[in-house]
Structure 1
Amino acid sequence: MAASSVLLGGLHAALAPSALRFHRALRDPEAAQTECLSRVLRATAGSQQAARIPGFERVRTAREFQDAVPMVTPDSVAPDVERIAAGEARVLTREPVMRFEPSGGSSGASKLVPMTQGLLDEFQRALAPMLFELLHHRPVLRTGPSYWSISPMGRKQGTTAGGIPVGSVEDSAYFARALRPLLSRVFAVPGAVGALPDVERCRYVTLWHLVSREDLVLISVWNPSFLTLLMDALERHGEQLAEDLERGTCRPPDADEVRGVLARMRFSPRPERAAALRSALRHGLEARELWPRLSLLSMWTDAQAAHAVPSACRRFSGVEVQGKGLLATEGVVTVPLFDAPAPVLAVRSHFFEFIDAEHPDVRPRLAHELERGRTYTVLLSTSGGLLRYRLGDLVRVEGFRHATPCLRFLGRADAVCDLVGEKLSATRVAAVLDAMLPSFFGGVRPDFAMLAPEWQPGPPAYRLFLDTAAPDSRLAEAAAVVERALLEGHHYRYARELGQLGPVLAVRVSEGVRRYEARCIALGQRAGDIKPMDLHRQPGWSAHFSGVAA
């Protein structure tokens, strides 16, 4: 414990200068954003992208940038990404691409995001203040190790045809190189766990390391259901884990296939921790019995993730929960602060613009022009070469920290399902499910509830997947009420009246969260990044949940 305290005290001091610059910038977001734009322009100058933009070399101000540079989407950037992957240089920026990171890919296969040193530096301008905030305002977090979920869980690394690596080994790769050895020494779970080839074995080895640490103080995950599934695995494998802790062994499923990875980690006998685990298993697996000093859970708490928070916290009574900011593979949008009304804009990281949701055709606003209570979609420009990139995230201004807006993530602005012209949006589906489902299931939504399209004999239709023990009649009633609410939308009603779309039907599922995760991984997502969704645009869920190959 003393060693962790010394190391974390040093980390706190090392992060302080970046945090101070960040907090100063909150007082003048216009100046901070001007500096960010200048950095983005310098990174892009001399690239193929810059050569395609008439007058790019004369752009200096935000208004000139908006007039000269078109907005882009992931699809429109894809040809440039393919050229980089094939080995072509100076495509989006002058800097070489160090690696690609797969994006979340929430409705299909992942996209590759090019990572340059300039982009990593921009991540650091947000992540360093975020980590400092934790250590400074919650001093207990300086007294023991933390668990930060490892992004590559269940995903293999590789290289592109041009020899560029795909995927990082662990989350510390986003921090400054000088800090990584220090971070690796205060993480409860070694980064080598990320080299395990599948989620189940990765969870088992992760749990061995977590249970072995009585002094664990922080658990940081992205999706709250990730934590739920981790604790479910602890209950499922608890007795074998206790035996392994007692003996100093580690036997995940099919252990012989991963001996090489396991050999890179230490597993020494921990009989006292085996006894603690057995006691916790007898008493309902209350986390505080295993980790008496655990003080903070960090996870997504906004938009659709909010539905998964109660289940994730069920075994963590008395532990503080902090919502994460909005962080995408392409860049950081907001940073959580304990005393702010919502996560604050990462004003020193990238150049941001905001499209007014009610007036999408007017010139996008800049950070210092946002208004409290209004909703916007985010445009991002980074030193990694993404210029005026439609991130697809919808945010609402909840207030300000000094002069910088605090933004609540509302969901995906581009999440619209349109099989036959019905134009069904995720925000509309979320509102309907939130309003309608609790009255059928004891005042709460089922742990897993999702609407998704199905191509089928006859007209396509939506299925309402529900993980619940309620009788079939109750599921059918819920589907009928959801259908009536969706019919209030003009496009959906018109598609139904024309017979182009069938009615919503309910489908009972079991272990919905776990099986949802399994298919999302098969679709190309990282386990740690998977978000619960009220509306999933990918068909084939009926076959998946029934065990039939889609």
Structure 2
Amino acid sequence: MLRLIIKLFAHIIATVSDNFYQALANPQSVQKLVQKEIIQLLVKSEYGNYLGIQSINDWEHIPIVEYEDIHKWIKSGVANKMLTPEPIIFYEKTSGSGSAAKLIPYTKSLRKSFSQMFCVWAHDLIVNGANFSTGKVYFCISPKLGDASAIQSGVKVGLEDDSEYLDGWLRWFLSPFLVSPPGINRIRDPNEFKEKLVNTLLVEENLEIISIWNPSFFKVHLDYIQANQQRLAAQLKNKISTERYQLLLEDKINWSKLWSKLKLISCWDSANAKEQANYLRSLFPNVMVQGKGLLATEAPMTIPLIKAQGFVPVLNEVFFEFEQQGNIYHLHELEKGKSYSLIISQKGGLYRYRIGDRIRVTHYYLKTPCLEFIGRTETTSDLVGEKLHEDFVQDVLNQLPLEGTFFQSLVPVRIPKDHYLLLLDHANLPAQIIAQLLDQELMRSHHYQQARLLGQLSPPQVLISAQIPEIITNYRMRQGIKWGDIKHQVLVTTPIDQELLNLLNYA
């Protein structure tokens, strides 16, 4: 019965998929249509009036912006239709650079863009992917741990349910397949969140799909199950089969047998998430672990297609521009093997918005370039999705009692568990006290807070030694870097080498 419903769903969304494939064959003309649609929204907004935009001929007069350039327009955008003539239905929170958090406005048109992207992705999986039979799926966007419900200009901030990213008919159709504890996004305590979620996932023997952001999110919950296996097994003995009860009691749980029907894990698998995605592949060798592509709070940008063997841009919903050495290129002008910085215009009020991501053109599918995410353009550290920005980290350090400290550098560390290490040459307070204060300040970052509360990140540590600057300098010089080229960063964006970490620990 469920298999028939899955086939029916594929039939219903086939037109959306067909239209998308036609767009991939005509990227230049389709992008022009999307650009015209978006410019009409801008023309009818106060922001467009302020810029003097009257038609698509004025496109080059629209400034390329970052969030800080337009945040005042966003905060006052509900009553006066500042950025878009469409009503704002909710705001979603994401991490900012200079500020602790960004609020991204959502309109019905932007939500439709996410829905269209979802339909194309789902159709591809049903037609070209695994033979799904139950359709049972766990979707996770981001738990709202530590966040109280908020209102911005009379509009709610955040979602009560992850399905609110999709249009109403999609939410209705998918509801029988969704695996999620009722009200889980209203939970504020991280341990309660883990407890309810793992109970629900363990009971669901027919789970076929897990969709998450960072793969470490799933690993944290697997670790929680392993650490509490005796108690969980006792709780669920009458709710799961005898075979799965015995699997749950094994010294080292065989995860692929515990969820034997699992066919797909969708998660980030590029840049800093690559190793963690490969770890999930080792735990579930017979499961497709599929990269998400570029899917951000601001917009759906690329999606994986099985036939394309890569990530194709959502070119019929988002207008793309690409920056390289000060020059701007359009989608059809990109060259294979070249890297670019991404600028997007979407249907929720963000125009020529520098998203902060860098992509590489891997190959072409039909007539459209496939885009691989290769990292952030700004100075950002992102171990598990926390997205710490250099400006924000500098503000955090300015809040700490570090009088008399000359050297300050926050470094990501992967061993033994992901965390941050603050390196100081001098401090008047004990390292433990500074570490606690550092953690409190970093918690102002929305995604850092989520990662800490879920256990994806361990508490930060602080190392104080007058020898630290010299040790780092000597280490870099041994790597062939000239003394004059060595720059001590406030925020290091790549995890520290184990050899260097060992040297610092002996300082």
TM-score of the superposition, structure 2-length normalised? 0.77
1:132 aligns with 2:123: yes
Task: Note if contact 2:128-2:307 (Cα within 8 Å) is conserved in structure 1.
Answer: no
Q: Deviations over 1:297-345 (max 9, x none)?
A: 2111111111322334443233221111101111011011113242111
Aligned residues of 2:215 and 2:273 also touching (Cα < 8 A): yes
Contact 1:225 1:311 in 2 (8 A): no
| Cα distance between partner residues in 1 of 2:416 and 2:103 | 40
Alignment of 1:421-436 (within 5 A): none
Counterpart selection for 1:60 from 56, 60, 72: 56
Closer, same or farther: CA 124–521 of 1 in aligned 2, 3 Å: farther
Q: Which residue of 1 aligns with 2:264?
A: 296
SS in 2 for 1:125: helix
Q: Quote the offset at 1:123 in angstroms.
A: 1.9
Q: Deviations over 1:410-444 (max 9, x none)?
A: 1110126xxxxxxxxx69xx9xxxxxxxxxxxxxx
2:241 to 265, 272, 276: 272
Q: Which sits farther off after the overlay, 200-209 or 154-163?
A: 154-163
Question: Aligned residue for 2:353?
Answer: 389
Deviation at 1:502, TM superposition (A): 6.2
Q: Secondary structure at the match of 1:307?
A: helix
1:157 Cα deviation from its structure 2 partner: 5.4
Contact 1:184 1:191 in 2 (8 A): no
Where do 5+ consecutive residues of structure 2 fail to align? Answer: 384-388, 433-437, 458-488, 494-507
TM alignment of 1:481-492, pairs within 5 A: none
Contact 1:73 1:390 in 2 (8 A): yes
User: Is the contact between residue 149 and residue 528 of structure 1 (CA under 8 Å) also seen in structure 2?
Assistant: no
Which of 330, 333, 340 is equivalent to 2:301? Answer: 333
Identical-residue share of aligned pairs (%) = 26
Distance 1:178 1:154, change over 3 A: same
Q: 1:398 Cα deviation (Å)?
A: 0.4
Match of 2:84 among 78, 83, 93: 93
Are 2:287 and 1:322 aligned?
A: no
How far 1:5 sits from its partner (Å)?
2.5
Give, in whole Å, the separation in 1 of the partners of 2:8 and 2:182. 21
Q: Which moved more, 1:318-327 or 1:452-461?
A: 452-461
CA deviations 1:13-49 (Å, max 9, x no partner) are 2221111111110001111111111211222222111
State the shift of 1:395 in Å.
Answer: 0.4
Among 329, 334, 350, the residue aligned to 1:370? 334
Aligned to 1:462: 409
CA deviation vs aligned residue, 1:217-236 (integer Å, no higher than 9, x gap): 11111101111101011112
1:409 has 2:373 as partner: yes
Distance in structure 1 (CA, Å) of the matches to 2:148 and 2:8: 32
- Residue 318 of structure 1 aligns to which amino acid in structure 2? N
Of 309, 312, 321, the residue aligned with 1:353 is 321
RMSD: 3.5
* Aligned amino acid, residue 50 of structure 2: R
The amino acid across from 2:32 in the alignment is T
- Unaligned stretches of 5+ residues in structure 1: 247-268, 417-425, 431-449, 471-478, 484-500, 510-515, 540-550
Contact 1:152–1:167 (CA<8 Å) still a contact in 2?
Answer: no
Output aligned runs, 1:33-72, within 5 Å.
Answer: 33-54=31-52, 56-57=53-54, 59-60=55-56, 64-65=58-59, 67-72=60-65
Alignment of 1:160-199 (within 5 A): 160-190=151-181, 192-199=183-190
Whole-angstrom distance in 2 between the partners of 1:106 and 1:210:
35
Q: Is the 8 A contact 2:409 2:492 kept in 1?
A: no
Range with greater deviation from structure 2 (321-330 or 150-159): 150-159
SS in 2 for 1:355: strand
Q: Given that residues 47 and 92 in structure 1 are in contact (C-alpha distance below 8 angstroms), is that contact kept between their aligned partners in structure 2?
A: yes
Q: 1:151 to 1:90 in 2, by over 3 A?
A: same
Query: Do the aligned partners of 1:7 and 1:186 also contact (CA within 8 Å) in 2?
Result: no
Report SS of the residue matched to 1:141: coil
Q: CA separation in 2, counterparts of 1:271 and 1:153?
A: 29
| Structure 1 residue 538, shift from structure 2 partner | 9.7
Query: Do the aligned partners of residues 465 and 324 (structure 1) sit closer, same or farther apart at CA in structure 2, a change above 3 Å counting?
Result: closer
Give, in angstroms, the shift of residue 72 of structure 1: 1.0
How far does residue 140 in structure 1 lie from its aligned partner after superposition? 2.1
Q: 2:310 and 2:18 mapped to 1: Cα distance?
A: 20
Question: Which digits, 9 at most, give the CA deviation of each residue in 1:110-131, with x for residues without a partner?
Answer: 2000101111112222221012
Distance in 1 between residues matched to 2:345 and 2:93, nearest whole Å: 18
More divergent stretch after superposition (32-41 vs 305-314): 305-314
Instruction: Please say if residues 153 and 199 of structure 1, whose CA atoms lie closer than 8 Å, have aligned partners that are also in contact.
Output: no
Residues 98/132 of structure 1: CA separation in 2 closer, same or farther (3 Å cut) = same
Q: CA deviation at 1:200?
A: 2.1
Q: How many pairs are equivalent?
A: 435
Q: What residue in structure 2 maps to residue 496 of structure 1?
A: none
CA distance in 2 between counterparts of 1:244 and 1:517 reads 34
The answer to whether structure 1 residue 27 and structure 2 residue 25 are counterparts is yes
Q: Is 1:53–1:69's contact at 8 Å kept on the other side of the alignment?
A: yes
Write the deviation string for residues 266-310 of structure 1: whole angstroms up to 9, x where unpaired. Answer: xxx51426x514423315111122111112221111111113223
**Does 2:488 correspond to 1:524?**
no
Name the CA distance, whole Å, in 1 between partners of 2:289 and 2:440.
Answer: 26
The whole-number CA distance in structure 2 between the counterparts of 1:109 and 1:239 is 40
Task: Kindly indicate whether the alpha-carbon contact (under 8 Å) linking 1:153 and 1:528 is maintained by their aligned counterparts in 2.
Answer: no
Corresponding residue SS for 1:343: strand
Asked if 1:285 is matched to 2:253, the reply is yes
Matches of 2:439 and 2:201, distance apart in 1? 22
User: Does the 8 Å contact 1:398/1:406 carry over to 2?
Assistant: yes
Q: Distance in 2 between matches of 1:520 and 1:53?
A: 36
Written as runs of structure 1 = structure 2, the 5 A alignment for 1:137-152 is 137-152=128-143
Contact 1:8 1:186 in 2 (8 A): no
Alignment check: 8 A CA contact 2:109 2:347 kept: yes
